[in-house]
Structure 1
Amino acid sequence: MSKRLNTKKIAVLATDGVEQIELEQPYNSLIDAGAKVELVSLKAVSIQGVHHDRPGDRFGVDKTIDEVSAEDYDGLVLPGGVFNPDALRMNDTAVDFVRDFFKQGKPVAAICHGPWMLAEADVLEGRRVTSWPSIETDLQNAGANWVDQECVCDNGLVTSRKPDDLDAFCDKMIEEFAEGVHEEQAV
C-alpha cells in the first residue's frame, strides 16, 4: 500500500469494551498507509478490547481525552463494541472532541456501534449513514438517513455496519483521510 497518509495524524477514540478487530484493523491500515496514529481514551495506560462478549487484548493509550484537541489531528476513527461508545458518550469532553472534528470539516470514520458518538455529538442531521442495526432508530432520531449498506460516505463521514465490512471501511477511510478537510461538512 502506498504511503498516502504520510503527512496525516489520526486519532482513534476508544475505551474499555472496544471491539478488538474494529480497533486493530483500521489502526493497522492507517499505519500501513503512512499515518501517525494515536489511541486516545478516557484513561491513561491501557484499555481492554473485546471479542464481542469475551475479553480480548489490552491496548496502550497514547493520550487521554483531556490532553487532546481536534485541532491536533487530521481525522478521527470511532471503533465499535457495545460498551465502548456507550461509555464514551457519557463523557462531555469526548463528545465535544468528536463534535469539533465536524466543526472543522475534518473526516471521521465510525463503524458498528461507533456512530452512537455521532448521535450524542448532534452531528447527524441530514446525513446518510449506516451502523450496527440495533442503533438504527437512535441514529434516525438524531436526524440521520440510515441505510443498510457495507460502507457509506457522506461528505467525509465514513460509516460501516460490522467487522465483515472492515475492508471496505478501511479503504474508504484512507481515501477520505487523504482528501482532508471538507468545507461542506463543517457544522
Structure 2
Amino acid sequence: MRIAFLTAPEGVEQVELTEPWQAAVDAGHEAVLVSTKPGKVQAFDHLDTADTFPVQEVVGETSADSFGGLVLPGGVANPDFLRMDDKAVSFVRDFFEQGRPVAAICHAAWTLVEADVVRGRELTSWPSLRTDIRNAGGTWVDEQVKVCDHGPNKLVTSRKPDDLKAFCGTFLEVFGAEA
C-alpha cells in the first residue's frame, strides 16, 4: 500500500515522522513524503532543529486517490502550518470522503479539526487539543491509542511520542485490514 505522510515544510516532530515511516516500510508499504512545497522538510526534536527529509510529492499535484492511507505526524508547528493551507486541508478531507484510513499523532489532530472530520468521532491527541476537538464536535479521550470507525473510514489517533509503539502497531493493523 502507498501511504502518504503529510507534513508542512517545517515543524514536524522528527520521531513522529521517522518511527511510523520505518514501521510502514518494514511492513512492506511504500511511504511517500507529501508536503505543501517541493524541496525538503525541516524536522524538529521538540524545539531544536533536527534532520531534513526530501519531499517526494506536493499537495495540489497529487491526490488522496493515489494512496491507500494517510499518516499525519505531529509537532506543534507542523499541523498549525498545515491547517492554514487550503490544499493540505482538502487533501486530508479527501481521505475521509474516499473512506481511506487515516492515522494522526499528538498535535496532528489540529489538521483534522480544520478539515472538519472529527464531528461524531472519538479520538485522542496531545491533551491541550481536547477543547479544540470538543468544539469541533468530537469526543476527546485520554488513551494511548484510539481507533474510531465512525463513518466510511477508520481513524487511528495517539497522544504523544511515548505512544509511538502502540500507534505504529495499531495503524499498521488497521491499514492492513483496509488494503
TM-score interval (norm. to shorter): over 0.9
1:67 aligns with 2:61: yes
CA deviations 1:118-145 (Å, max 9, x no partner) are 1000011110000001111001111111
CA deviations 1:12-66 (Å, max 9, x no partner) are 0002100000000000000000001100001111010000000010011101112
CA deviations 1:93-127 (Å, max 9, x no partner) are 10010001000111000000001111000011110
Q: 2:109 aligns with which of 93, 112, 115?
A: 115
Q: 1:95 aligns with which of 89, 113, 131?
A: 89
Counterparts of 1:179 and 1:102 in 2: how far apart (Å)? 16
Aligned-pair CA distance for 1:71 = 0.4
AA in 1 matched with 2:104? A
AA in 1 matched with 2:123? V
Aligned-pair CA distance for 1:91 = 0.5
AA in 2 matched with 1:108? V
AA in 2 matched with 1:13? L
TM-score by length of 2: 0.96
Ranges in structure 1 where 5+ consecutive residues have no aligned partner: 1-7, 182-187
Counterparts of 1:174 and 1:54 in 2: how far apart (Å)? 29
Ranges in structure 2 where 5+ consecutive residues have no aligned partner: none
Kindly tell me the number of residue pairs found equivalent between the two proteins: 174
Could you list the structure 1 runs, at least 4 aligned residues long, displaced by more than 2 angstroms after superposition: none
TM-score by length of 1: 0.92
Q: 2:29 aligns with which of 22, 35, 39?
A: 35
AA in 2 matched with 1:160? S
AA in 2 matched with 1:37? A
Q: 1:11 aligns with which of 4, 9, 12?
A: 4
Counterparts of 1:9 and 1:127 in 2: how far apart (Å)? 25
Identity %: 53
Counterparts of 1:96 and 1:43 in 2: how far apart (Å)? 15
1:173 aligns with 2:176: no
Counterparts of 1:146 and 1:102 in 2: how far apart (Å)? 19
AA in 2 matched with 1:62? Q
AA in 2 matched with 1:72? S
Question: Paired residue for 1:79?
Answer: 73
Counterparts of 1:66 and 1:104 in 2: how far apart (Å)? 17
